[in-house]
Amino acid sequence: MARHLITSALPYINGIKHLGNLVGSQLPADAYARYLRARGNEVMFICATDEHGTPAELAAAKTGEPVADYCARMHGEQSALAAGFGLSFDHYGRSSSDRNRVLTQHFAGQLADNGYIREVSEKQVYSIDDGRFLPDRYIEGTCPNCGYDKARGDQCENCTKQLDPTDLINPRSAISGSTNLEVRETKHLYLRQSTLKGDIAEWIDGKKDWPILTTSIARKWLNDGDGLQDRGITRDLHWGVPVKRGDQDWPGMEGKVFYVWFDAPIEYIAATAEWADSEGKSDADWRRWWRLDEGAEDVTYTQFMGKDNVPFHTLSFPATIIGSGEPWKLVDYIKSFNYLTYDGGQFSTSQGRGVFMDQALEILPADYWRWWLLSHAPESGDSEFTWENFQQSVNKDLADVLGNFVSRITKFCRSKFGEEIPAGGSYGDEEQQLLDALTTRIRAYEGFMQAMEVRKSASELRAIWVLGNEYLQSAAPWSTFKTDPEKAAMQVRLGLNLIRLYAVLSSPFIPFTSDAMLQAMGTDNADWPDDVTAALEALPAGHAFTVPEVLFAKITDDQRAEWEERFKGVRG
């Protein structure tokens, strides 16, 4: 039994996430975790809400809540939606936790002791009316590149151009709207990433199996222009991890907090510690996943994320780990994704464009969305969500192929043999051909899942469903029954066992439907089909089953038109 640590990029706390966020990290990570568990591996699947930084403060200000209360509420909402989509986290933590505070301060102290932190005086925008320095995202204005009037001080969301606050035309405070701004001097701590460039480059060069998307982004940031730059790790904010050197005060850094990019990835470790706390386990139980000197040597660590998070996970977080001089586990594989676009444009949390997780579950059960998103995962390039494509995929893949197979075979058996698996008959050439084809397809499916090739895995799974339909159409037990009831019983028995097999194989993609199929077959036997012949004899003659409700209802043209209209504008 292998041990796998899986982390999904932390979603920001500022509001409900859209489907693009979901498919960019959490959902494919869940499919992989479910697959590994089904194969008998020990899995620790970790995620958390990213609660510090400017977005949290701004979002709380808009609702009028204290930022701590806002984050607590939104963590609850995001946790509930994660459960609604079947995300099987072992723990869904919070970057505002005491565990993360202590660990962040610990890493900062280690880095300082090892000479990897320097103090820098720099000039930043100060709002006289707000009485505070304004981080880049607290400053809004007109983009000098495209004219968008709500560009932030770090980037224009409209044209994606990187900006400095001083680039903005008519800059204003995002807190109060005040234009009474001036530039003042302040001090901050910088992580000396540049001194670790050689260590990081050597580490990245050793990752021969990483996706091209991941390594190309990492090397671009590592080598383009002036190469890996030192980066500020503190900010003049009220909400965050207080700047300390371990458990000691840091002279000159009073009232400052660590920058969110520094503390957020440390939460992967902290959330695992939170898991141990919640389960009443010891520190040794979580450290065996993270400390090479305490049992993590045999752990395979995989991270899932959108491509915009790659620089932080290939450069900055490894710099923190390496620079600490302590034997912490570094990531073994980074699975990164391109973007999911929405009906000709971009999903946008700030602009409310696209379908959001809560809205999706109001419309249809989670497995409809899980299937489409995973089978269209933006791996080799961006993918586009359109309602027409969604309707077609649900109707053809889920309703016509899988749902239709389950409905036909269970209803036919009930009408001719009752609600027990019938006895009689033995396999012939047609059944052996099916077994051979299933074995080939299942082994291919396993290979794609192990390699985290999500779309290829989905395609192979659909092909496995198709084999059952083709067999049922060819064998035609409804015709066989008229002349050879015993042979028809064998065909039906094989078909009902295929339902159990499909439930097991499909669980990484459509877990709720998988559970419903197992329940209908009257079994909790979810053993993986290492031996396909044995798997198709798992439910013996005489075993009781029930005819399930319709697994997947087709999406009508009227529904599609209604949803297109409802979601074409900005979220209210």
- Annotated binding-site residue numbers for Zn(2+): 143, 146, 156, 159
Sign of CA dihedral 557, 561, 562, 568: positive
Residues annotated as binding site?
143, 146, 156, 159, 349
What stretch of H or E contains 43? strand 42-49
Q: Order of strands across the sheet with 151-152?
A: 151-152, 139-142, 169-173
Residues annotated as binding site for ATP?
349
Question: What is the distance between the alpha carbons of residues 19 and 149, in angstroms, rounded to a whole number?
Answer: 26
Q: Return left, alpha or beta for 542; rule: phi > 0 is left, psi -120 to 50 is alpha, else beta.
A: left
Q: How many helices (H) and strands (E) does the chain have?
A: 22, 19
Q: First vs last Cα of the chain: how many Å apart? A: 48
Per-residue tokens: 153: 């001080």
Question: What is the distance between the alpha carbons of residues 151 and 157, in angstroms, rounded to a whole number?
Answer: 6
Closest CA to 192 of 203, 184, 182, 200: 200
Give backbone dihedrals phi and psi of 369, rounded to 5 degrees, phi first: -70, -45
Contact 167, 221 (CB under 8 A): no
Give the single-character DSSP code of 303: E
The amino acid occupying position 4 is H
Q: Going by DSSP bridges, is the β-strand pair 139-142/151-152 parallel, antiparallel, or unpaired?
A: antiparallel
Taking residue 436's Cβ as centre, other Cβ atoms within 10 Å add up to 11
Give the single-character DSSP code of 339: P
Closest CA to 163 of 180, 189, 140, 184: 140
